[in-house]
């Protein structure tokens, strides 16, 4: 197989699991993340285990022009990009007024702007393929407003609606767009977000990255619009969509505020 998949946030968690699964399926990989050491280790292990090509780019995707640099790097590597997985992202927990604005804007840059910019830069290349896929990673938080995770949840709502919109726009093209909305997953997200105080709660609902990745890729290849791994997470998302918003917001606040 000469086709390539580009995965952002590839060095850990869901991105790493997806990288391994795609390598097993025979895809050549372009891995993007901040940590060069982690990318080197992952690339070495993949090439040792699977007969695929792996290249990587260590870059902070929240930096200005990082998406443009990444797209240029990608185009320099291959003209056979058939999968783009926008996985890189993180959250910040705390009251909006108390969190440093710079940190919150940096999160929005990565969670929203980088996804939009990278997709826009690479769409012409994806359109040249016989069949191509875009998988954007949102969250079950996309279905509700969440106090103390306000901008994170809002950023994922954007990604979900953006994904559905461009999916419709591209319906007559070779590019299928899907959005993966996982619930709590054992990826280190909670620690990065400052949610260690809720570790016991997270353990009760956490899915493993491999489970989420497998479900996400299966849904992507089946051209599903939205993919929610796990029955309980699908059930909670259904409730978030259909219960009165005020009730959903109170439930969310009860879970994530102290």
Domains of the chain: 4-256 (3.40.50.720)
> pLDDT tier at 184 (50, 70, 90 boundaries)?
confident
Of 142, 255, 251, nearest to 195 by C-alpha is 255
Residues 3-7 have a mean pLDDT of 97
pLDDT score for 171 = 97
Residue 206: which pLDDT band, with cuts at 50, 70 and 90?
Answer: confident
CA distances from 11 to 96, 221, 245 (A): 29, 22, 36
pTM recorded for the entire structure = 0.89
In angstroms, the CA 88 to CA 39 distance is 14
pLDDT at 62 over 80: yes
The torsion defined by the Cα of 234, 106, 87 and 127, in degrees rounded to 10, comes to: 110
DSSP 207: B
Q: What is the DSSP letter of 206?
A: P
| Average confidence score pLDDT of the chain | 89
């Amino acid at each position: 197989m000469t086709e390539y998949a580009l995965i952002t946030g590839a060095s850990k968690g869901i991105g790493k699991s997806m990288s391994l699964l795609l390598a097993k399926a025979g895809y050549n990989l372009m891995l993007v993340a901040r940590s060069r050491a982690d990318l080197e280790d992952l690339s070495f292990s993949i090439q040792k285990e699977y007969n695929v090509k792996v290249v990587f780019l260590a870059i902070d995707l929240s930096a200005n022009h990082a998406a443009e640099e990444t797209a240029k790097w990608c185009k320099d590597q291959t003209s056979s990009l058939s999968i783009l997985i926008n996985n890189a992202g993180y959250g910040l927990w705390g009251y909006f007024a108390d969190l440093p604005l710079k940190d919150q804007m940096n999160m929005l840059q990565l969670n929203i702007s980088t996804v939009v910019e990278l997709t826009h830069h690479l769409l012409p290349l994806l359109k040249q393929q016989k069949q191509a896929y875009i998988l954007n990673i949102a969250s079950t938080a996309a279905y509700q407003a969440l106090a103390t995770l306000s901008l994170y949840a809002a950023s994922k709502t954007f990604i979900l609606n953006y994904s559905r919109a461009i999916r419709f726009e591209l319906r007559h093209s070779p590019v299928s767009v899907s959005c993966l909305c996982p619930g709590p997953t054992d990826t280190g997200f909670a620690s990065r977000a400052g949610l260690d105080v809720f570790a016991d709660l997270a353990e009760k609902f956490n899915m493993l990255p491999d489970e989420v990745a497998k479900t996400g890729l299966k849904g992507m290849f089946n051209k599903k619009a939205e993919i929610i791994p796990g029955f309980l997470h699908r059930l909670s998302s259904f409730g978030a969509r259909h219960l009165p918003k005020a009730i959903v917001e109170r439930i969310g606040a009860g879970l994530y505020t102290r």
